[in-house]
Amino acid sequence: MTPGASPSLGATSEVGRLRTVVLHRPGAELRRLTPRNNDQLLFDGVPWVARAQEEHDAFAAALTARDVEVLYLGRLLAEVLEVPAAREELVAAAVDDPRLGATLKRATTAHLAGLASDDLAATLMAGLAHDELRGGRGLAYELMDRGDFVVPPLPNLLFTRDSSVWVGDQVAITSLAMPARHRESSITRAIATHHPRFAGTGQLYDASLEHLEGGDVLLLARGVLAVGVGERTTPGGAERLARRVFARGLAHTVLVVPIAQERATMHLDTIATMVDVDAMVMYPAVADSLVAWTVTAEETPDDDDTSDLVVRGPQPFVVAAAQAMGIDRLRVIDTGLDPVTAEREQWDDGNNTLALAPRLAVAYERNTVTNAALEAAGIEVVRIAGSELGSGRGGPRCMSCPVWRDES
């Protein structure tokens, strides 16, 4: 890929026409999941990998059919590993694990450093098992079982939304909360830093900072962000992001939205996503109780991390959002679901839609009642299969990282 192949990068809303997106086609990393480790690796079951790939291919095809350019994370990673600095950083991140001890760490570093770029990319994603390591030695190595991972796999790479998020023309490399996902941010950072496609892009956030995940960040409108605070994103992360977007002129208001600290509602986008410039679909159980704290800058800030913030609230989320967006009201599409159906479809990511343009959204086909309600409200729904993709608890929005949207 040549420098300058796509001069346009960035996003200011959730619903501007989607032009370019990063996806990750599930691969060998999913084949590492077993009933023994799937909980630790944050999957609710062991997916049928071939079917998951078929479903993901159909998802990508639905995007390209609507003129969305799809960039694949694995290909970007292999390309960036041709850059010596990126290769060094990513190998160092892969062995930065106190389990290994000094001897095994050296042996693993030597093994990874000797791989060709495509093979190294595959290993960084799928992990490295004990019996795959050439020249393994040391006490830690001897005490491992054959199937233990020297470098753990990254099955959650499928959910490209979480490890980076674009705000305006800058990218936030996020700080992932769960240990099984920490290394994902090293990959997205290396791509954003070293890949020619993203040359010169400003980086808004860093994995060393307070926990902040992309699934908790909604771009409600130009200059207005909503940030969920719950299981994955901390109040400190929301505060840090607010200071930085204010200091860089990327937003004037951040709405901080507390959500339940539960797996079913791990991110804000599991309960609410935008489907039009003034409308969202929301889990009925929280529609009347969701609140927001409105955060603004006390004055024009000149520092990323120390400027004073003004915090007001709480208010009902839909009221605070409408005020910040400068609209009369934020429409919440009433799905009309009974409590049991609502809970089932929320668990199956019924509220996790990916807008391709105003009033055009991708959704899992299995959430039939939610999809019918969206269509009744004037939203065109592009249905995709997700019986296997959903085993990691993520829908179309989770599986996509927009890097270029038109203004909405």
Check 254, 398, 399, 401 and give the catalytic one. 398
Q: How far is Cα 263 from Cα 276, in angstroms, rounded to an integer?
A: 27
Q: Which of 140, 164, 162 is nearest to 151 (CA)?
A: 140
CA atoms within 13 A on the CB side of 244: 20
Closest CA to 158 of 46, 73, 263, 80: 73
Cβ 308 vs Cβ 252: under 8 Å: no
For the stretch 284-288, contacts whose Cβ atoms lie closer than 8 Å and that sit 24 or more positions apart, written own/partner, are 284/334, 284/335, 284/337, 284/339, 284/342, 285/339, 285/342, 285/343, 285/346, 286/259, 287/318, 287/332, 288/316
Instruction: Determine the Cα–Cα distance for residues 408 and 4; give it in Å rounded to an integer.
Output: 24
Q: Are strands 401-405 and 18-23 parallel, antiparallel or unpaired?
A: antiparallel
**Which residue in this structure is represented by tokens 């050296």?**
106
Tokens 């997916």, residue located: 47
Burial environment of residue 34 by CB neighbours within 10 A (0 to 12, 13 to 18, 19 or more): exposed
Alpha carbons 22 and 76: distance in angstroms, whole number = 9
d(CA 140, CA 148): 11
Structure token pair of residue 273? 């996503």
**Could you tell me which residues are beta bridge partners of residue 166?**
171
**Residue 401 falls in the annotated catalytic set:** no
- Residues 273/280, Cβ–Cβ less than 8 Å: yes
Summarize the chain as % helix, strand, coil (round to 5): 35, 25, 40
Q: Assign 292 to helix, strand or coil.
A: strand
Which residues participate in catalysis according to the annotation?
398
